[in-house]
Structure 1
């Protein structure tokens, strides 16, 4: 089973945005050294608690300071953009870091309604155009527009022999169906939803002609002991409430309902159980703690279990 990391570049208590970005780069280097398969950066806008509105810029730095780990966006929020500049930027990354670049695609707003309007104007209409945007992006990535198409005359430069590998990210049956229709590999955001993930994944597999790899993104906190892990999770809940403006009832553990929290043995057992449910090829792990040292140690413990 492959393990990867999803990083939202959180600005934790007492830290600056600059420190958050520096910690992301440090964690990516640690991930490569520990044997994680890929390192993805999330995209968010107008959110002071999250420091990366432009994953491609950060990926260029991470790629230059690593050598083997796959790097990518998790995800480019496609309704915010035209397909052409996205293809250009990720072809450029793939030219710099051959065989290492992923292009995750999502359709969430990634910020407030006001931020979405500032980015894309009528965001909802762009969401409805998502299938067309994906088609355009794939044609740009693979240089295979029909000869009579206006965009067939466009040459992307730099263009690579091995283009960035596209994935579709989602949390619903609708996204799974879209991924299958577009013949895209699929990432399911287990940590973001209470939906029946295994059922959604089975739907995707039933609709996909050729077997595609499946990633499940899950929130994990691994402590030296169960008590330590629970304490770290409770401390992190304060930051999460500020970041999401959602009140959380710690007494009822609402925030922890679909998280994996425990000591290394417990985390291993829970991930193995989840893998059996999903029949997935890979877990992409998101860890949010109240400080960067706890985050680093959690990822180290998880790597020591599996890698």
Structure 2
């Protein structure tokens, strides 16, 4: 089984964004030593407790302080940007860090309506134009616009020897269809929505159109996982993440990921308890042996090439320990 890391650069209560970003670097470095295949960092805008608004900036920093692990965005939110600028940015990263750059693309706003308006005009129109924009992005990366196209006269420089590997990230049929039609690698966010996930992945695989860039379907399933030496401790650690999700839904949680003690003291109503129970169903929680078994089951269910793990805990040390325990058990 191939394992990778998805990082949202969470800010824990009582810490700062600067510390969260340094912990992201540390996670990438330790992931490299443990044998994880790739490290992706997500893009969010003015969301409480998430530090990374510009993955391309962090990737330059992380690339310079790692040696071989693949690094990428999970994801760049295409409707906010022009394809040409994204291609230039990731071609530059691929020039600096040859053979290591992944370009994950998503369509979500990544923040509030106000943040979306501040970032881009006509966001919904850009979402509708996503297939055309993505095709333009691929053509800029491959430098293969038809000779009569206005963009054939420009290139997304610098042109690297090894192009960034494009991925489409999503949780819906639309994202899977676009990935299949364009012959692009696909990552499904099980941690966000497991609804019909395996059938969406199967449709991607069955309808994949091979091309010079990718000959066969290539897939990742992204899973929220928390591992500790004992099941009881893993369940306890998970309380922070679960409560934080509830707080964010209520417009709270601006202080960041709550501590276990804060989570235990928090008074939940019956609806919130039900929500937490449902959220747990999407997560992998347990001791190393239990987590390994759950990951194997998910990989089999999705028929995925790779499992990408996102772990959010209040303690950065326990987050690192969770990845270590999983790697030692699985890799």
Decide: shared fold, TM above 0.5. Answer: yes
- Is 1:227 paired with 2:232? yes
**Residue 214 (structure 1) aligns with:** 219
- Is 1:249 paired with 2:254? no
**Residue 162 (structure 1) aligns with:** 162
Paired with 1:237 and 1:195, the residues of 2 have a C-alpha distance of 19
- Is 1:240 paired with 2:254? no
Q: Are 1:239 and 1:290, in contact at CA under 8 Å, matched by a contact in 2?
A: no
Q: Are 1:12 and 1:239, in contact at CA under 8 Å, matched by a contact in 2?
A: no
- Is 1:93 paired with 2:93? yes
Gaps of 5+ in 2: 211-215, 252-267
Q: CA deviation at 1:265?
A: 0.7
- Is 1:69 paired with 2:69? yes
**Residue 278 (structure 1) aligns with:** 302
**Residue 36 (structure 2) aligns with:** 36
1:51 aligned counterpart, secondary structure: coil
Paired with 1:56 and 1:89, the residues of 2 have a C-alpha distance of 7
Query: How many pairs does the alignment contain?
Result: 307
1:157 aligned counterpart, secondary structure: coil
Q: Are 2:34 and 2:324, in contact at CA under 8 Å, matched by a contact in 1?
A: yes
Paired with 1:198 and 1:255, the residues of 2 have a C-alpha distance of 18
Q: CA deviation at 1:244?
A: 4.4
TM-score (norm 2): 0.90
Deviations 1:168-215 (A, max 9, x none): 011011211111111111000001113111111111111013322110
Q: Are 1:183 and 1:208, in contact at CA under 8 Å, matched by a contact in 2?
A: yes
Q: Are 1:13 and 1:239, in contact at CA under 8 Å, matched by a contact in 2?
A: no
**Residue 26 (structure 2) aligns with:** 26
Moved more, 54-63 or 157-166: 157-166
**Residue 141 (structure 1) aligns with:** 141
Q: Which of 282, 289, 292 is matched with 1:258 structurally?
A: 282
- Is 1:299 paired with 2:304? no
Deviations 1:27-73 (A, max 9, x none): 10000000000000000001131111100100001000101100000
Paired with 1:200 and 1:156, the residues of 2 have a C-alpha distance of 33
1:249 aligned counterpart, secondary structure: helix
**Residue 172 (structure 1) aligns with:** 172
Q: Are 2:241 and 2:313, in contact at CA under 8 Å, matched by a contact in 1?
A: yes
Q: Are 2:182 and 2:209, in contact at CA under 8 Å, matched by a contact in 1?
A: no
- Is 1:193 paired with 2:193? yes
Q: Are 2:242 and 2:279, in contact at CA under 8 Å, matched by a contact in 1?
A: yes
Q: CA deviation at 1:291?
A: 1.7
- Cα-Cα RMSD: 1.4
Moved more, 144-153 or 251-260: 251-260
